[in-house]
Amino acid sequence: MTTIFDSPLLIFPGQGSQYRGIGKDLFDAFDTVRHLYEEANDTLGYDLARLSFEDPEDQIHLTRYTQPVLLTHAIACLRIFNEQTDYSVNPKASAGHSLGEYSALVAAGALKFADALRLVNERGRLMSELGEGEMEALPLALEDARKFAEQHYCAVAACNLPDQTVVGGKATDLNSLVEAFEEQFPGKRSSRLKTEGAFHTFYMIGAALEFRTALENTVWQSPSMSVLSNTTGRFHDPNPDGIRAALFSQLFNPVLWHANLVYAAEQGCRTVIEFGGGIGKGETPAEKKPNLAGIVKKTFRRHDNPPKYVSIINEETLAQAVAQLESHG
């Protein structure tokens, strides 16, 4: 089978792409996916499959549960894609937005799935219990948003596009920041995000200090492909110690997602393949849309030769991607 997915970058979304029913279609269709969820249940000591598919106690949007749910779904999508395509797609690099960086490291062989699951389970618990604050998305460039943040005891949490930056801080400080922003830019509007804390800011330092032990007690390998770091915007040092330290810092430093995508393209990635998650008003997996598609397309819309974009987030998109490969085989 000849691949049409040239020098692909594998990408994985973070929190905000979870929903009740996530993964149910793939679970029902494929033994590989069922075995993965069984492994997740055994690793975590609770029924992650039932939480993902039914969410009977309304827990899927709680950070401590969201993170294992999304990592498991992302790896399920990746594994069944590889299986269905006879491992014919050879990725050049991987990247993940925030939590998604752990899925990217599993994809690169730097972490075993079960170890990553234990890590994000602990990461989610600590972020929920020890973090504080809220987050606001601003239609501003990184440095412009940073000025507003620093004037109001807040901090930049992520830069997703040249004109889309997320800041975090206490609710009262964010309210003051938004008031100043709207006064200076009366035609623009910001939006408060639904999170349990000001992730990727100094409000997460306490969580990071506790999380360090889990990072140090986990077995790591050098990745089999380049993996992008959220904190630098460039590739991780392949040394496991460097990756471990970078993930410690990631908890309280901004996610430079726009920089990740641009750098990957500069390094020769010609296709972007997104795995896992889903957003949109529909309730079933088939009705969901990929989380990062809009950001990817806006990042490269003015490029002369933008990377090809593909998503594998449900049974339908999986079939479409496999069909594209087979039609060019």
Assess whether 152 carries a catalytic annotation: no
- Cα Rg, the chain, nearest whole Å: 19
Contact 288, 314 (CB under 8 A): yes
Say which of 200, 229, 258, 311 is annotated catalytic. 200
- CA proximity to 41, closest of 111, 123, 121, 106: 121
At 58, is the secondary structure helix, strand, or coil? Answer: coil
Tokens of 298: 């806006």
Phi, then psi, of 102 in degrees rounded to 5: -70, -40
246 vs 5, 58, 103, CA distance in Å?
29, 33, 15
Catalytic residue among 52, 94, 98, 103: 98
Residue 200 annotated to the active site? yes
Closest to 120 measured CA to CA, from 245, 23, 218: 218
Q: Does residue 188 contact residue 181 with C-beta atoms inside 8 Å?
A: yes
> Annotated active-site positions, please?
98, 200
